[in-house]
């Protein structure tokens, strides 16, 4: 904030210097004008420069607020990207046959707590289900298979990895096989 204020002060000082130089040039070039006319011109110039400086400061503040809001909104993006592989590994571990009920229950509890923590931060799973429509904005086709009578083109044949998004920003697309 102090840096922004310092930049604003420097801009205002630069504008003042420009106005003084312009006024000096005009007073030297037009000696036939009265002192009152020159003062009015100076006042108009100062007002114009002031209004421009105020508008510029408002624009700086607006851009700063927008940037701050964006940073706040997407603050957990890097953490989510680091946690998602662990969540994938938990899902793979749960898919293993031969787990005892206690181990399976423990893994499910850890998975649920991670999913809940991600949801609290605004991170959601991207819907990708077998037979659903393929959307290139949210899905990444890693393979295609020929469509047939039972399966329409541009539908999902298999989901290899879940995708996630933070608000409207895709963190990781769902990796799918698509009927083509």
Residue-range domain boundaries for the chain: 72-179
Q: Regarding the domain delimited by 72-179, which CATH topology (the fold level of the hierarchy) does it fall under?
A: Nucleotide Exchange Factor Grpe; Chain A, domain 2 (2.30.22)
What is the pLDDT, as a whole number, of residue 40? 94
Q: Which residue has the higher pLDDT, 33 or 94?
A: 94
pLDDT digits (tens, 9 = 90+) for 130-173: 989 999 999 999 999 998 888 889 999 999 999 999 988 999 99
What is the pLDDT, as a whole number, of residue 14? 81
Tokens for 146, please give them. Answer: 């020929």
């Amino acid at each position: 904030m102090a840096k922004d204020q310092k930049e604003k002060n420097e801009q205002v000082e630069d504008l003042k210097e420009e106005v003084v130089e312009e006024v000096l040039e005009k007073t030297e070039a037009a000696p036939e004008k009265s002192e009152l006319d020159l003062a009015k011109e100076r006042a108009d110039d100062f007002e114009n420069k002031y209004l421009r400086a105020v508008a510029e400061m408002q624009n700086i503040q607006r851009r700063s607020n927008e940037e701050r809001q964006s940073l706040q909104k997407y603050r957990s993006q890097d953490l989510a990207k680091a946690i998602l592989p662990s969540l994938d590994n938990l899902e793979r571990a749960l898919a293993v046959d031969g787990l005892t009920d206690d181990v399976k229950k423990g893994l499910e509890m850890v998975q649920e707590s991670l999913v809940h923590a991600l949801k609290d931060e605004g991170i959601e799973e991207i819907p990708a289900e077998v037979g659903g429509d393929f959307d290139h904005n949210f899905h990444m086709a890693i393979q295609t298979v020929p469509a047939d009578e039972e399966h329409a083109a541009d539908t999902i044949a298999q989901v290899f990895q879940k995708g996630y998004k933070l608000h409207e920003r895709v963190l990781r697309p769902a990796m799918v096989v698509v009927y083509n």
